């Protein structure tokens, strides 16, 4: 079986999960931390080399302060989880805005923790516009250097590699601004369950599906 | 029912369709022209304002010359179809390469034909890298103008608006480099049938599905 080198994760549905349980929306984020840690563990066992989680976006920070606090706190907990599991951990996002949590500043350059057997990236205060603004440094004069690789090297998320498989929980079939450059060729798999209801079977089903995609790609 | 303003179309599966019928791969493209014209007709009736077809990419031009000729010819026929149906027609792609067909040069600025009741865009010799290279003109000094709209105005496909719904035929669940900026928030619907087997039902099912997506979006 072909294992994707790099999986992107859109852990959606936390608020809908909370509402379904009669909780207030922002309570859902707390229940999204442990599934992320479990997913890291499973991906390490499988030999996945890199895992990128969609934490929160600059657009998300326009929500109520209860929600903003709750998802920021969940990202800090998730970061601690990734570090404790052993990883090469990196946080990517706009650090120049006050919405970027200070506690995560030390992780905006990649650092190795424990066995370091997987790269884990967490998008925090990320925006696709912010990301693409790195392209203002494309060389206007030298046409030959403005190739595909050049774009990958100039975007603000340049430390994050091309993504093979994106898995989105919560049933929605859209990227919602998730890493537009790294996602251009990604296979996109949607799990209808909300993220806090994560089960290892979701990952296994996604990997099985991805394996079949590669077989039908020929020619 | 909410009708998407702008639908993106990835008409994939032409070659697999031909192989299934015992034809050589490149024969499939011929059979992809009429479905496109039918789709324009149906979208006009529904009140869709803009339709963008993924013609061919710069990467596609690395295929055999039989295939390159066949899909180039299919794009020229599709252009004639869009013009005959009545549309505001535009071709978008890299005109500086010899792979861009001369016959389509006159359509690289938008022109109105017949009733002009729908915008139809056709991507020809398109590349996502080529598209994003327009961002080299982002203003390095004036931070305040480097906002979301600014990016939309600088990419090389800037005449093409944000896409609400992308429909891909042929079963694959990936964007394959299709307009990364206009696709950031698009809902993505996949039809398993190959493109030459297009049926109006595919479009209707996609629109029904899209309508449900908007209802579940609240909050």
End-to-end CA distance of chain B: 20
- Tell if the CB–CB gap between B151 and A133 is shorter than 8 Å: yes
Neighbours of A68 (CB within 10 A): 16
Per-residue confidence (pLDDT) for residue B82, from 0 to 100 = 98
Return the DSSP state at A5. S
Give DSSP secondary structure letters for B39-99: HHHHHHHHT--EEEEEEEETTGGGS-HHHHHHHHHHHHHHHHHHHHH-EEEEEES-TTSTT
- Measured between beta carbons, the chain A residues lying within 8 angstroms of B146 are 129, 133, 136
pLDDT in tens, B15-59: 999 999 999 999 999 999 999 999 999 999 999 999 999 999 999
Angle at A25 between CA A24 and CA A27, to 5 degrees: 75
pLDDT in tens, A158-207: 999 999 999 999 999 999 999 999 999 999 999 999 999 999 999 999 99
- Measured between beta carbons, the chain A residues lying within 8 angstroms of B167 are none
Query: In this structure, what token pair is assigned to residue A152?
Result: 């990958």
- List the single residue in B15, B132, B183 with the smallest CB-CB distance to A132: B132
Split at pLDDT 50, 70, 90, the class of A219 is very low
Count CA atoms closer than 13 A to A151's CA, side-chain side: 21
ipTM for the whole complex? 0.94
Task: Give the H or E element holding residue A42.
Answer: helix A33-46
Backbone angles phi, psi at A185, to 5 degrees: -110, 5
Split at pLDDT 50, 70, 90, the class of A88 is very high
Work out the minimum CA distance from B115 to partner chain A, whole angstroms: 33
Q: Which residues of B touch A (CB under 8 A)?
A: 15, 25, 128-129, 132-133, 135-140, 146-148, 151, 171-177, 180-181, 183-189, 213, 216, 219
Residue A216 has pLDDT above 50, yes or no: no
What pairing do the DSSP bridges indicate for beta strands A87-92 and A50-57? unpaired
Work out the minimum CA distance from B112 to partner chain A, whole angstroms: 32
Per-residue confidence (pLDDT) for residue A76, from 0 to 100 = 98
Going across the sheet that includes B87-92, the strands are: B111-113, B87-92, B119-126, B50-57, B6-11, B165-169, B187-191
Q: How far apart are CA B168 and CA B189, in angstroms?
A: 6
Least confident of A11-25, A104-118, B133-147: B133-147
Within 8 A by CB and 6+ apart from B146, the residues are A129, A133, A136, B138, B139
Residue B214 has pLDDT above 80, yes or no: no
Angle at A30 between CA A10 and CA A209, to 5 degrees: 30
Q: How far apart are CA B29 and CA B13, in angstroms?
A: 9
Q: How far apart are CA A101 and CA A91, in angstroms?
A: 11
The distance from CA B16 to its chain's CA centroid, rounded to whole angstroms, is 20
- Tell if the CB–CB gap between A132 and B135 is shorter than 8 Å: yes
Work out the minimum CA distance from B55 to partner chain A, whole angstroms: 16
Fold observed for domain A6-214 = Undecaprenyl pyrophosphate synthetase (3.40.1180)
Query: In this structure, what token pair is assigned to residue B62?
Result: 């690395």
The distance from CA A32 to its chain's CA centroid, rounded to whole angstroms, is 13
Mean pLDDT of B64-77: 97
Query: In this structure, what token pair is assigned to residue B175?
Result: 């964007």
Higher pLDDT, A142 or B174: B174
Domain ranges for chain A? 6-214
Higher pLDDT, B155 or B147: B155
pLDDT in tens, A104-152: 999 999 999 999 999 999 999 999 999 999 998 887 655 555 555 589 9
Q: How far apart are CA B137 and CA A201, in angstroms?
A: 46
pLDDT in tens, B83-97: 999 999 999 999 999
Work out the minimum CA distance from B165 to partner chain A, whole angstroms: 9
- At residue B165, the 3 state secondary structure works out as strand
- Tell if the CB–CB gap between A175 and B189 is shorter than 8 Å: no
Backbone angles phi, psi at B12, to 5 degrees: -95, 160
Count CA atoms closer than 13 A to B40's CA, side-chain side: 26
């Amino acid at each position: 079986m072909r294992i994707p080198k790099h999986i992107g994760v859109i852990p959606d549905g936390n608020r809908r999960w909370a509402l379904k349980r009669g909780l207030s929306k922002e309570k859902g984020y707390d229940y999204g931390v442990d599934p992320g840690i479990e997913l890291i563990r499973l991906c390490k066992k499988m030999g996945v080399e890199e895992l990128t989680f969609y934490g929160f976006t600059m657009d998300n920070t326009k929500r109520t302060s209860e929600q903003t606090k709750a998802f920021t706190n969940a990202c800090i907990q998730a970061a601690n989880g990734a570090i404790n599991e052993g990883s090469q951990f990196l946080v990517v996002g706009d650090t120049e805005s006050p919405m970027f949590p200070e506690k995560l500043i030390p992780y905006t350059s990649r650092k190795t923790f424990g066995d370091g057997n997987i790269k884990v990236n967490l998008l925090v205060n990320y925006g696709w516009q912010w990301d693409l603004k790195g392209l203002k440094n494309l060389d206007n004069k030298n046409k030959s250097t403005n190739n595909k690789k050049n774009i990958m090297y100039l975007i603000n998320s340049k430390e994050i590699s091309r993504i093979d498989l994106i898995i989105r929980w919560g049933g929605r079939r859209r990227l919602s601004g998730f890493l537009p450059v790294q996602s251009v060729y990604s296979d996109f798999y949607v799990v209808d369950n909300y993220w806090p209801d994560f089960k290892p079977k979701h990952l296994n089903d996604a990997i099985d599906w991805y394996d079949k995609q590669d077989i039908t790609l020929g020619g």
